[in-house]
Amino acid sequence: MRKKITVVGAGNVGATLVQRLAEMEVADIVMIDIPQTEGMPAGKALDIMESGPIYGYDSRLSGATSYETTAGSDIVVITAGMPRKPGMSRDDLLNTNAGIVKGVSEQVVKYSPNAILIIVSNPLDAMCLVALKTSRLPKHRVIGMAGVLDSARMRWFIAEALNVSMESVHAMVLGGHGDTMVPMPRFSTVNGIPITELLSKEKIIQINQRTCDGGAEIVKLLKTGSAFYAPSASTAEMVESILKDKKKVLPCAAYLEGEYGIDGVFVGVPVKLGSGGIEQIIQLNLTVEERMALQKSASAVKELSAALK
């Protein structure tokens, strides 16, 4: 029996994710959007299906505005929510998107009680908490897409600075998916060589800051929207690791209960992603400075989450 994925939200992130997943042939896919969009999700699904004969994939896609079609999903990805606009922080979206994520979570678990939820909606860490509390799923089955994206951005900036293949670069970004995220140069390498051996301290500081500002930089350039190519690629990597039980170690937003001295919030940390969702939270041996930065980021997430109405 084929695996089944539901993607909630047929906007730029959702539709691009559906296309990527279809081309990867990991599952059949249902794309859901609000009733006011009428035939839009079905139209986009049909358009992607009609690309199949050219690209050679046999994934089956459908689009709808009712949740009955999502029944029995193995993974549900929630991308629904208001996008960021220039001058708007992720935090500005808090209570508007919290209401959206709450409503979506209620519906998806009604029809797919055994699903794993991947949250993409911003502000990411707070929306994960909304989904966890609303769905009442075990914490290892509610995961936030954050660190994969932030680390991908950092990897590109490193590759660009050194003029090397992006395939040789690995990077690690921890913490909340916002201004207090924590790029980790000590755990970022080029074919195993720490970037601290290859780049000046000043250049590393510059890359760290650009990583933290990565989403805002794109919002400023686009003017009428936010990033969707890299977020959809990051989510697709997470989905593949779960459905294929690849057990990739990726930085994701996970609900912590004492790990890294943090309790009761979603924070980006390295995790092992397999068929059970988060199968292990990996605790790195951090320096005092790194631990303080992670604690500061977690405090910002906790403060934001406390502001949820």
**Residue of 177, 188, 237, 274 marked active site:** 177
C-alpha span between 242 and 89 (Å, rounded): 30
C-alpha span between 236 and 216 (Å, rounded): 22
Longest dimension (CA), the chain: 55
Active site residue 170: no
Q: How far is CA 292 from the centre of its chain?
A: 24
Alpha helices in 164-222 (DSSP H): 201-212, 214-222
| Closest to 235 measured CA to CA, from 68, 73, 56, 76 | 76
CB atoms within 10 A of CB 207: 23
Torsion of CA 133, 134, 138, 141, to 10 degrees: -110
Instruction: Kindly state the tokens that stand for 160.
Output: 């660009």
CB 96 within 8 A of CB 82: yes
Q: What angle do CA 69, 122, 292 make, to 5 degrees?
A: 135
Q: What secondary structure letter does DSSP report for 27?
A: S
C-alpha span between 272 and 252 (Å, rounded): 9
Counting Cβ atoms within 10 Å, is residue 210 exposed (0-12), middle (13-18) or buried (19+)? middle
Pairing assessment for the beta strands 61-64 and 75-78 based on DSSP bridges: unpaired
β-pair partners for 253: 144, 268
C-alpha span between 309 and 300 (Å, rounded): 17
Q: Which residues are catalytic?
A: 177
